[in-house]
Structure 1
């Protein structure tokens, strides 16, 4: 009886060790495809003059023009300046 119990415990440990009984990790979320920085279209933030890939920029359209921003703060500054101008 003792040998059987030892054999079962040893087998369970061996299976756990090789991964058969280990809990499975949740699959990771698929990542968005990365754009090659050498080929990405770069745009300029008109507030802080930062250049960034168009895919990462925030956009606002005004008077038929598209304006790009690196952050919500720059976008807000632009919109407030335009509102103050009239």
Structure 2
């Protein structure tokens, strides 16, 4: 694990302390790590959505079956799992 020292405005530190006090996080470090992880996941969702939109706009529409959705879901889940491995 790497140590990172950051400066926070008092109001932001108070918000982080409130999250810890609520019991949702064990420490401010856990809270910040969670925020960074969520931001990475959000960026990945946006990337995937962008790819999907480009493909949707790339040609004429066709019927999509449950098998098509299952295949896409399987590829996405495999990719997400691969990226989460340390």
TM-score (norm: length of structure 1): 0.24
Q: Which has the higher contact order (CA 8 A, sep 6+)?
A: 1
TM-score (norm: length of structure 2): 0.24
Instruction: Report the structure, 1 or 2, having the larger helix content.
Output: 2
The structure with the largest alpha-carbon Rg is 1
